[in-house]
Every structure is written in structure tokens, then in C-alpha cells.
Amino acid sequence: MIIKVSINDLKKGHFVVDIVEQHGTYNLTRAGHIKNSIIVDNLKAKGVESVLIDTTKTIDEALSVNLPEQHENSGPVILEVTKAKKIFNESKKLQQQMFLDIQQGRSINLGPIIDATQQTITAIFKNPDALICVINIRNKNEYLLEHSISVSVLMTVFARFLKIDRKIIQQLAIGAFLHDVGKIKVPNQILNKRGKLTETEYRMIQKHVNYSIDIIKATPGISPLSLEVAALHHERLDGSGYPLKLKQADISNYGAMIAICDVFDALTADRCYKESYSHIKAFSILRKLASDGKLMPRLVDLFIKCLGVYPVGTIVELNANRLAIVESRNQDDPINPKVRCFYNIESHRYIMTKDIDLATEADFIIKGVKAKDFNLDMNKIIEFLLLEG
């Protein structure tokens, strides 16, 4: 069982999974056993206040002499979520600083963005599902901050799936991170308007791409590829996009990729003026846009295959009135993933978790749902699952 313990209660032989609370920014390089009191003292010195331990792996102190080194392991995706949330939140702070710099007439400092995207890429190469899971835990009042980070994550996951060179992936991730930076120059009352935009307001919204291009061009050290993907995110294959109304022959594969990532995140994120769509509905809309000649059909199909019919971290309704979270995909049976059941719909209560491989058991998915459909909060669901182990 995974439980939270104070650093003062951490003992030799405990198996530490992750850090929960701390004053600093220390990250565990891997899960592992506490081999001696010096390790506990070091954690205290770094500001660590509490950790998650796996009680099933605790070794009696008498048996814990000369414990072997633990090999790094991705582990269950739910255990990686806390690390992924830290990366996501650090990126949000970076976005806030970037917007402040632009508002005060300073150019973007690319160094921290390179570091942040590199950290994201490393996390995704280790476990792509954890950050995808975090994207599902969003604050609808922070869409401007979170959208670009989410698109950068999606772009990185998609590029890794397509086996694109890692150096190229970093440039794509940076371009996606910056793609909407020009929105800081669009009035908030237009960006967050609840009703239908007037023609004049829509033209003002469209100008954000031009603003982004100008800001990114003025960023010292930016690569042409990062600029390219940011500039192309609203272009469409049939020439109906903006700002240049380019057609398919003039839109690179990278430009077509970010358009898909951008649309998908916009569809699946809650905003102050609209509710989000389920992933299944968003996939359906992507396919419709592809059939209408706006998005590249081959890349849309690959994107859906990359995320899975039921992406990891999404909530599904099972038969027998239960909710479960998707924990991992079955590559040979994509409509029957591995899930963790956690909630009884009839009694409106959390239940003891149970891991179910839908490819081999009689249970089945009725539909993909959202936590708020059942008056649940994704943050509390994740917290419950972590405590359950």
C-alpha cells in the first residue's frame, strides 16, 4: 500500500516512491529503499517534509544491510503524476514570467524555456502517459497559461511516437510552448468573451498569430523550426486558416502536427466560457476536420493512435455502475485498456480500488466520461488513487 509519512517517521528499510511536501525543489532520481540514516538526513537538509512509501516493499532493519541499488523504473502511471505535476506547474510559472517580460517590453529569455522543455522531453521519454494524465487536471481560469504547455506536451508525445529525432523534438516543443504568446496583446474581454465574437473581434483574435511571430522572431537564439511551428498552428490545408491562408503544399508536416495538437487541446480543455468535450468527441471532430480537408488525415489517424482511443488518465464508465481511470493501453486491443476501478456511481462513494485488464476480463467500458459529470474533482481522484496505491 502507498502511504504518506513524515520525514521524521522515515526509517531504514522503507521504500520511498516519491516526495509529497518540501520547501525546496529536489526531485528523486528513482524510487528505492532507505539504506541508512544519512539518506534521511540528506532529505531533511534538502527541505523534504513528507514522502510516499510503499509498505509492501518495506524491509526489516535487520535485513536491510547492504541493500542493492534500485534500478530506475517508471512504475504505475499514477505514481508518476506527482512528478509530472511539478514539471507542469514550473512551466506555468515560466509562462507567467514570459508574459510579464513581454508586457514590460523585454525580449523572451530562451534559456529557461530550453531547460523546461528538455525536462518535459526527458519525462515523456521515461513515461509519456504521466504528463498526458496531468493535462486532464486543468484550471479553466488559467487556460492561457496551461494551453501552450499542454500543446507542447502533446507535440512532444506525438513527435516521440513518430520517432522524430530528439534534437528536432526540442525545437518543436519550444515552438509549441511559445505558439500563443501573442495572445498577451489581445484584450482579455475579447479572449474570454462568453458570447459570439463580432467580425471585428474575431479579426483581433486572429492577429495573435502575427503578434506571436513578431515576438518569437525577436527572441535571441530561437531556431527557424521553432518559429515555423508557432507560425503555422492556425493554417489549414484548404487555405481557410490564418494569417497567411496557406494551402497544403506550403504547410510542413510539423505545421500540420501542431494544428492537430492545438485543436485537440482547445476541444478538451474547460474554459471560462465553454465546457470541454470528451476525448472521444474531440477525436470525432478531428476526423471531421480531416475529411473536410482542413487537417491532414494520415496525421490525425496517427495522433489518435498515439494517444489511444481511451487516453491514459481519462475516466471511463464501466458496466455495473462503476467509474475507473485508464492506467495503460493494450496495444493489441485499443478499445479495452487496463483500468483502475475507484468509484460506485449508485452509492456515490469511493470504493477500494481494483485493477482490471478489460482485454481479459468480463467488465467493459460503456463510455468515456468527465469527472465533473459525477460532481467529482480530478485532483481529489488522483489524491485518492495515490493513497490507495
Question: What pLDDT does residue 77 have?
Answer: 63
Alpha-helix residue ranges (DSSP H) falling in the chain: 37-45, 77-103, 110-126, 128-135, 143-161, 166-178, 188-191, 199-217, 224-231, 253-268, 279-291, 297-307, 378-388
In this structure, are 44 and 121 located in the same domain?
no
- Mean pLDDT of the 177-189 span: 95
Is 90 exceeded by the pLDDT of residue 91? yes
Let me know: does 356 contact 362? Beta carbons within 8 Å.
no
**Cα distance between residue 300 and residue 284, in whole Å:** 10
Residue 326 lies in a domain: yes
Question: For the segment 322-362, what is each residue's pLDDT rounded down to a tens digit?
Answer: 999 998 888 778 889 999 999 999 999 999 999 999 999 99
Q: Residue 69 falls within a domain, yes or no? A: no
* Residues with Cβ within 8 Å of residue 155, at least 6 apart in sequence: 172, 173, 175, 176, 229, 257, 258, 261
| pLDDT at position 206 | 97
CA–centroid distance for 362 within its chain: 31
Give the rounded percent of residues in the chain with a pLDDT score beyond 90: 58
pLDDT value for 38: 78
What was the pLDDT predicted at 61? 47
CATH code for the domain of 194: 1.10.3210.10
Give the pLDDT band (50/70/90) at residue 133: confident
Cell numbers for 37, please give them: 540514516
Nearest CA to 387 out of 166, 91, 78 is that of: 78
Quote the pLDDT of residue 62: 36
Instruction: Tell me: do 121 and 58 sit in the same domain.
Output: no
Are residues 218 and 286 located together in one domain of the fold? yes
Split at pLDDT 50, 70, 90, the class of 70 is very low
Tell me which residue has cell 486543468. 138
Write down the pLDDT at residue 151: 97
Does one domain contain both 44 and 116? no
Mean pLDDT of the chain: 88
Residue 78 is predicted with a pLDDT of 64
Domain boundary among 261, 282, 307: 307
Residue 63: band (very low, low, confident or very high) from pLDDT cuts 50, 70, 90: very low
How many residues appear in the chain? 389
User: Is 201 among the domain residues?
Assistant: yes
pLDDT of residue 71: 35
The stretch 56-72 carries a mean pLDDT of: 48
Q: How many CA atoms lie within 13 A of 308 on its CB side?
A: 24
- The answer to whether residues 372 and 292 belong to one domain is no
> Considering only CA atoms, which of 83, 115, 82, 84 is closest in space to residue 97?
115
Tell whether 276 and 351 lie within a shared domain: no
- Residue ending a domain, among 278, 307, 336, is 307
Domain limits at 344?
A: 315-388
Query: What is the layout of strands, in order, in the sheet containing 48-54?
Result: 2-6, 48-54, 15-22, 32-33
Asked if the structure places residue 70 within a domain, the reply is no
Same domain assignment for residues 277 and 171: yes
Q: Please check whether residues 303 and 329 belong to one and the same domain.
A: no
Q: Which of 318, 317, 324, 289 lies closest to 303 in space, CA to CA?
A: 289
pLDDT band at 219 (very low <50, low <70, confident <90, very high): very high
Residues 6+ apart with CB under 8 A from 43: 7, 10, 26, 51
| Position 79 confidence tier, pLDDT thresholds 50, 70, 90 | low
Q: Residue 287 falls within a domain, yes or no? A: yes
Q: Rounded to two decimals, what is the model's pTM?
A: 0.78
pLDDT, position 73:
38
Same domain, 173 and 282: yes
C-alpha dihedral sign at 30, 32, 36, 41: positive
Q: Would the pLDDT of 9 be above 60?
A: yes
In a domain, 46, yes or no: yes
pLDDT tens readout for residues 95-125: 999 999 999 999 999 999 999 999 999 999 9
Q: Are residues 228 and 273 in the same domain?
A: yes
> What is the C-alpha separation between 165 and 160, in angstroms, rounded?
8
Report the share of the chain in percent with pLDDT over 70: 93
The answer to the question of residue 259 being in a domain is yes
Q: Is the pLDDT of residue 282 over 90?
A: yes
Question: What Å distances lie between residue 321 and 237, 310, 318, 324, 376, CA to CA?
Answer: 43, 18, 6, 10, 15
pLDDT value at 366 more than 70: yes
Given 279, 307, 335, the domain boundary residue is 307
Asked if pLDDT for residue 60 goes beyond 80, the answer is: no
Instruction: Give residue-wise pLDDT tens across range 297-315.
Output: 999 999 999 998 888 888 9
| Peptide bond connecting 112 to the previous residue in cis, omega within 30 degrees of 0 | no
- From residue 24, how far is each of 19, 33, 224 by CA, in Å? 11, 22, 36
**Is 72 within the bounds of a domain?**
no
Work out the pLDDT band at 275, boundaries 50, 70, 90. confident
The more confidently predicted of residues 232 and 381 is 232
CA distance 329 to 336: 8
Query: Between 275 and 154, where is the model more confident?
Result: 154
Answer yes or no: do 151 and 27 share one domain.
no
> How many domains does the chain divide into?
3
Number of neighbours of residue 198 by Cβ within 10 angstroms: 11
pLDDT band at 176 (very low <50, low <70, confident <90, very high): very high
- Same domain membership, residue 28 and residue 94: no
Predicted pLDDT at 45: 82
